[in-house]
Amino acid sequence: MPELPEVEHVKRGITPHILHQKIIDVTFSKPVQAGKTQGKATIIKGMGLSEFEQQTCGYVITDVQRRSKYILFQLQNGVHQRILISHLGMAGAFFVVHSLEEIKIPNFRKHWQVIFQLDNGVKLVYADIRRFGEIRNVANLSEYPSILEIAPEPFAPDALAHFLTKSSEKKYRHKAIKALILDHRVISGCGNIYACEALFDARIHPEKKVSTLNIEQKTKVFNSVVKVLEMGILNGGTSVSDYVHADGQRGTMQNHLKVYQQKQCSDCQSIVHTVTIAGRNTHFCPNCQS
């Protein structure tokens, strides 16, 4: 699943080509249309396809932002404003092309789901191999409360204080530290890959209970999360599965992973162990992490 660094690179890749452009048409794939016919909210969530089209066409993309793992497209049509909220799910991707044939990866070219035709001749294509992603059209963020629950961006000045405060709450104290940093209400944008890498960087065992950590250790965990997320951005994200940039290129963070899906610890060469925490495979070094 794309995490903060991957979503940041998708946002950076598409923004120069779509900013200040008007959406003149929206096309939905057959699976999206069939899903709505069958009562399933396939990709387009919260409204029907006709209403989505009406509330999107004619609007200009005035800004593109990332909030945690979401991409927010700010739209304006005269005095009317809307927001497209997109989550890439497990294997979603945006591409900016003039024709579908320009999408270099066959699986993404085959599994396009939504095409936004812009007035500069460009198509903003949302492709999703597994169709777990989503796009919503809302008048304001209060229409999608889940996004309002997300913790401050990890790079924000108040993010550490928020993290320390949340970690002291009763409902979190008995959780494993790995489960805590996967919770977007506590720290935003950190998924399984970067959580494993952050705990290795902090030398903290992923099963350690939050209640057993002191302020210094919690701060170290937070700083390690920020560090590995910044590394992820610097290296273009982690392409261990379907993730690619908007131009089809792959990230290189996978070449710098210390424990995630590794056989041996990069520091001490011990065998990397795997346990399940919060439903996710968790990789750690039993020697370096205590």
The reply to whether 127 and 182 lie within a common domain is no
Task: Return d(Cα 260, Cα 165) in angstroms, integer.
Answer: 28
Mean pLDDT of the chain: 95
Q: Are 88 and 207 within one domain?
A: no
Which of 55-59, 152-156, 238-242, 271-275 has the lowest average pLDDT?
238-242
Domain end call among 148, 171, 198: 148
Give the distance between the most distant pair of CA atoms in the chain: 61
Question: Which of 47, 14, 45, 49 minimizes the C-alpha distance to 28?
Answer: 49
Contact predicate 10/245, CB 8 Å: yes
What pairing do the DSSP bridges indicate for beta strands 43-45 and 134-138?
Answer: parallel
- Looking up residue 91, the CATH number of its domain turns out to be 3.20.190.10
CA dist 58 and 263 (Å) reads: 52
Provide the percentage of residues in the chain whose pLDDT is more than 70. Answer: 99
- Give the mean pLDDT of 178-200: 97
Query: 162-175 b/e with 16+ CB inside 10 Å = b?
Result: bbeebbeeeebeeb
Residue 154 lies in a domain: no
Beta strand residue intervals within the chain, DSSP E: 23-28, 43-45, 60-67, 70-77, 80-87, 92-97, 112-118, 123-128, 134-138, 273-277, 280-284
pLDDT value for 246: 78
Q: Is the predicted pLDDT of residue 112 greater than 90, yes or no?
A: yes
Q: d(Cα 46, Cα 52) in Å, to the nearest integer?
A: 9
pLDDT (0 to 100) of residue 237: 84
DSSP for 127-173, written as a single string: EESS---EEEEESSGGGSHHHHTSPPPTTSTTHHHHHHHHHTSHHHH
Question: Is 183 among the domain residues?
Answer: yes
Which residues are catalytic, by number? 2-3, 69, 280
Q: Are 71 and 7 in contact (CB under 8 A)?
A: yes
Least Cα distance to 288 among 209, 208, 205 occurs for 205
Radius of gyration, alpha carbons of the chain = 20
pLDDT at 243 over 80: no
| Better-predicted residue by pLDDT, 82 or 105 | 82
Give a yes or no: residue 153 inside a domain. Answer: no
Contact 188, 68 (CB under 8 A): yes
Are 167 and 35 contained in the same domain?
A: no
- Please compute the mean of the pLDDT values over residues 124-130 and round it to a whole number: 96
Residue 191, pLDDT score: 94
Residue at 40 is within a domain: yes
Q: What pLDDT shows up at residue 236?
A: 86
Specify whether the CB–CB gap between 41 and 229 falls below 8 A.
Answer: no
Give the C-alpha separation, 117 to 59, whole Å. 11
Is a pLDDT exceeding 70 seen at residue 281? yes
pLDDT at 15: 98
Q: Is the pLDDT of residue 65 over 80?
A: yes
Question: Mind listing the pLDDT tens digit for each residue in 211-229?
Answer: 999 999 999 999 999 999 9
Residue 39: is its pLDDT beyond 70? yes
**256 pLDDT tier (thresholds 50, 70, 90):** confident
- Which element (helix H / strand E) includes 135? strand 134-138
Count of the separate structural domains present in the chain: 2
* Res. 242: pLDDT tops 70: no
Across the range 241-252, mean pLDDT stands at: 75
What per-residue confidence (pLDDT) applies to 239? 74
Q: CATH number for the domain including 194?
A: 1.10.8.50
- In terms of residue numbers, what domain contains 201? 159-284
| Higher pLDDT, residue 256 or 28 | 28
Q: What is the pLDDT of residues 22-35, one digit of tens each?
A: 999 999 999 999 99
**Does the pLDDT of residue 247 top 90, yes or no?**
no
pLDDT at position 103: 94
Q: Which of 262, 170, 193 is nearest to 7 (CA)?
A: 193
Per-residue confidence (pLDDT) for residue 75, from 0 to 100: 99
Domain-embedded: residue 137: yes
